[in-house]
């Protein structure tokens, strides 16, 4: 690992912390990270927290653009992360409203980030940007999250053969509301995209209810280009035999008095590499699949059931017609079962 350009140093460190008998918490911290600015100057750091006994109050954090290499030793000692490099900035102006509610805005950005995880994996990304904004409004608290990762690479050199994963662009966007009175979270829109390889979005809002009778329901649409997932083969050996194909899936999930997930999948143009079973490879024009994942609510070990209701391809067909029982596989601690 490259050495840090100079020893980590914090100057003018001033910390005031207090914990009152009623649980009220006050924390004020200011410091200068010596030589951590882009021009070699010092970077001022500040944290200001003032919470009452019910954990309500403002939280403000300011970290201007800072050279992470100057803090690598501090971070490694606290987290086990090694070889930290890049620039990072953070701004948070928020208000806590108890243990599970927050309003305000948090913005963070990292450029040229590189590090080794405690497990020995190397992560590098050209840029990460995250922005979260949560505000009170009609019908409860409204929130929005935007996350963008550019040119992300993951290296694993811990085994006999090095493995590498590269993704040019990953984007995540979420919007939703939280009603504290009914303990209900509604994800009104959600989108995840990994370049042109994978795209997923919430086709209907996801409704999550907490409290005495927790439940969740929602609908998700996923599209994937299997040929563009080739860079995952090093980490997912099951993809090694896939050369091309496009997948479209719709998932409807309900968790209320148990689990009920219904999935419809269409695979077009699936091309498999030559193998012992198919020396010339195989091209499957189209596969249609309908599957249910069920788990009843109950005490003790409740098996999870996978129910195949329909399958159509060039080499197999399961119509699920009237009078034909579906193929069912159950999984529990005792093992597999099939009917």
Q: What is the pLDDT of residues 94-124, one digit of tens each?
A: 998 876 788 999 999 999 999 999 888 899 9
Q: What DSSP designation does 71 have?
A: G
- The percent of residues above 70 in pLDDT, for the chain, comes to 90
> Best-predicted range by mean pLDDT among 63-67, 313-317, 323-327?
63-67
For the ranges 1-10, 182-191, 240-249, the lowest mean pLDDT is seen at: 1-10
Segment 28-31 long-range contacts (CB within 8 Å, at least 24 positions apart): none
Predicted local confidence at residue 85, as pLDDT: 92
Per DSSP, 326 falls in state P
Q: Which long-range contacts (CB under 8 A, 24 or more apart) does 98-103 make?
A: 98/54, 98/55, 98/56, 99/55, 101/141, 101/178, 101/180, 102/134, 103/134, 103/135, 103/136, 103/141
Residue 239, SS3 per DSSP: helix
- Whether pLDDT at 31 is above 80: yes
Look at the pTM and tell me if it is higher than 0.85: no
Residues contacting residue 119 through CB under 8 Å, at least 6 positions apart: 158
Which pLDDT value is given to residue 8? Answer: 56
Strands 198-209 and 215-225, by their bridges, are: antiparallel
Choice among 155-164, 188-197, 214-223 with the minimum mean pLDDT: 155-164
- Tell me: pLDDT of 1 over 60: no
Contacts of residue 40, defined as CB under 8 A and 6 or more positions apart, other chains included, come to none
Q: Average pLDDT, stretch 210-229?
A: 88
User: CB of 122 within 8 A of CB of 113?
Assistant: no
Q: Coil, strand, or helix at residue 237?
A: helix
Q: Are 204 and 220 in contact (CB under 8 A)?
A: no
Cβ(305)–Cβ(299) below 8 Å:
no
How much of the chain is helix, strand and coil, in % rounded to 5? 5, 65, 30
- Contacts of residue 155, defined as CB under 8 A and 6 or more positions apart, other chains included, come to 121, 122, 123, 124, 162, 163, 164
The 3-state DSSP class for residue 78 equals helix
* Predicted pLDDT of residue 316: 81
**What is the arithmetic mean of pLDDT over 300-322?**
77
Q: Is the dihedral of CA 315, 320, 325, 327 positive or negative?
A: positive
pLDDT over 80 (residue 5): no
The answer on pLDDT for 15 being more than 90 is no
Q: What is the pLDDT of residue 322?
A: 61
Contacts of 35 (CB under 8 A, 6+ apart): 6, 9, 41, 42, 67, 70
pLDDT at residue number 137? 78
**What burial class does residue 82 get, using C-beta atoms within 10 Å of its C-beta: 0-12 exposed, 13-18 middle, 19+ buried?**
middle
How far, in Å, CA of 173 to CA of 186, rounded?
14
Confidence of residue 337 (pLDDT cuts 50, 70, 90): low
CB 154 within 8 A of CB 121: yes
């Amino acid at each position: 690992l490259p050495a840090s350009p100079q020893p980590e140093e914090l100057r003018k460190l001033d910390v005031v912390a207090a914990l009152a008998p009623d649980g009220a918490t006050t924390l004020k911290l200011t410091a200068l990270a010596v030589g951590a600015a882009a021009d070699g100057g010092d970077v001022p750091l500040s944290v200001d927290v003032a919470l009452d006994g019910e954990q309500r109050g403002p939280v403000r954090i300011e970290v201007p653009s800072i050279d992470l290499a100057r803090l690598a030793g501090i971070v490694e000692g606290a987290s086990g992360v090694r070889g930290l490099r890049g620039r990072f900035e953070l701004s948070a102006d928020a208000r806590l409203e108890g243990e599970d509610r927050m309003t305000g805005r948090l913005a963070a950005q990292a450029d040229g980030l590189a590090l080794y995880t405690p497990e020995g994996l190397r992560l590098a990304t050209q840029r990460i940007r995250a922005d979260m904004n949560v505000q009170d409004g009609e019908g409860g608290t409204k929130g929005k999250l935007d996350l963008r990762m550019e040119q992300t690479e993951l290296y694993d050199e811990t085994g006999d053969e090095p493995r590498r994963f590269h993704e040019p662009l990953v984007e995540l966007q979420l919007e939703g509301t939280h009603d504290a009175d009914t303990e209900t979270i509604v994800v009104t829109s959600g989108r995840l995209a990994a370049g042109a390889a994978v795209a997923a979005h919430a086709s209907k809002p996801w409704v999550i209810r907490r409290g005495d009778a927790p439940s969740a329901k929602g609908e998700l649409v996923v599209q994937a280009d299997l040929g563009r997932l080739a860079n995952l083969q090093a980490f997912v050996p099951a993809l090694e035999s896939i050369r091309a194909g496009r997948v479209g899936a719709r998932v409807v999930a309900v968790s209320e008095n148990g689990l009920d997930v219904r999935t419809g999948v269409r695979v077009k143009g699936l091309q498999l590499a030559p193998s012992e079973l198919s020396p010339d490879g195989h091209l499957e024009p189209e596969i249609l699949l309908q599957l249910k994942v069920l788990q009843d609510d109950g005490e003790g070990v409740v098996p999870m059931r996978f129910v195949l209701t329909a399958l159509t391809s060039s080499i197999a067909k399961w119509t699920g017609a009237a009078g034909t029982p579906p193929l069912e596989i159950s999984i529990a601690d005792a093992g597999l079962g099939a009917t």
